[in-house]
């Protein structure tokens, strides 16, 4: 689903993004509710980026990546955490692109997400390549989502990926280690 967000584009940058787990739902400009094999997922576009709310019988998870005033948790390159019975993995990277590369990548991503049944993209008015996009799926018992946050004025595209699900035991022994989490991404 592709939508134009009813808000002005604020000239921010990738360095302004912060990451948080467990935040209450923030006001959203657009949402997409999904049911993925028993998992209820809400993709939320915020004026300042994204929030994903996940609810399953084993619990819930809230991830926020946004420009949050006063936040002290910058966007990490990677996180692996246990959340009750779940494992949570998050990774982020910033791509720096030329204006032509940026325009091409923006068109490619917006087309991919707009045509996907589990995708939500919002374009900010005032800049044709200023957008936030989310794409979700369920695979092997885990819920996965990817996001893209575009900052055309700086040629920066922030890409994130998240995986949440029941902890997997490595073959031959119970429990999960941080090393096995890193290999599974």
**What is the pLDDT at residue 67?**
85
Work out the burial of residue 9: count CB atoms within 10 Å of its CB; fewer than 13 is exposed, 13-18 middle, 19 or more buried: middle
**What is the pLDDT at residue 10?**
59
Average pLDDT over residues 39-48: 91
**What is the pLDDT at residue 83?**
84
Q: For 5-33, what is each residue's pLDDT tens digit?
A: 777 655 577 888 989 999 999 999 999 99
Q: For 159-181, what is each residue's pLDDT tens digit?
A: 999 999 876 655 544 443 333 33
- The per-residue b/e assignment along 44-81, b for 16 or more CB within 10 angstroms, e otherwise, is bbbbbbbbbbbebeeeebbbbbbbbeebeeebeeebbe
Q: For 101-115, what is each residue's pLDDT tens digit?
A: 999 999 999 999 999
In terms of pLDDT, which residue wins out, 149 or 13?
A: 149
166-173 long-range contacts (CB < 8 A, ≥24 apart) are 166/58, 166/85, 166/86, 166/87, 166/141, 166/142, 167/82, 167/85, 167/86, 167/87, 168/87
95-101 long-range contacts (CB < 8 A, ≥24 apart) are 95/156, 95/157, 95/158, 95/159, 96/154, 96/155, 96/156, 97/155, 97/156, 97/157, 98/155, 99/152, 99/155, 101/155
**What is the pLDDT at residue 33?**
96
8 Å CB contact between 47 and 29: yes
Average pLDDT over residues 134-159: 93
| Residue pointed to by tokens 């997400």 | 113
Task: Tell me the sheet residues that pair with 2.
Answer: 121
Phi, psi of 155, rounded to the nearest 5 degrees: 65, 30
Using the predicted structure, report yes or no on whether residue 53 has a pLDDT greater than 60.
yes
Q: Which of 55-69, 80-94, 162-176 has the lowest mean pLDDT?
A: 162-176
**What is the pLDDT at residue 101?**
96
Work out the burial of residue 149: count CB atoms within 10 Å of its CB; fewer than 13 is exposed, 13-18 middle, 19 or more buried: buried
């Amino acid at each position: 689903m592709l939508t134009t967000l009813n808000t002005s584009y604020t000239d921010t940058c990738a360095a302004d993004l912060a990451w948080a787990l467990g935040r209450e739902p923030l006001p959203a400009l657009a949402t997409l509710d999904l049911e993925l094999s028993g998992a209820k997922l809400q993709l939320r576009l915020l004026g300042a980026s994204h929030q994903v709310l996940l609810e399953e019988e084993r619990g819930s998870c809230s991830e926020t990546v946004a420009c949050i005033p006063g936040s002290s948790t910058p966007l990490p390159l990677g996180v692996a955490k246990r959340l009750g019975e779940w494992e949570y993995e998050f990774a982020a990277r910033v791509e720096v692109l030329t204006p032509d590369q940026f325009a091409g990548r923006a068109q490619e991503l917006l087309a991919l997400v707009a045509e996907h049944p589990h995708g939500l993209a919002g374009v900010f008015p005032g800049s044709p390549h200023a957008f936030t996009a989310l794409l979700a799926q369920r695979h092997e018992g885990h819920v996965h989502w990817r996001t893209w946050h575009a900052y055309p004025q700086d040629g920066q595209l922030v890409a994130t990926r998240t995986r949440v699900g029941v902890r997997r035991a490595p073959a031959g022994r119970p429990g999960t280690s941080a090393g096995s989490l890193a290999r599974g991404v």
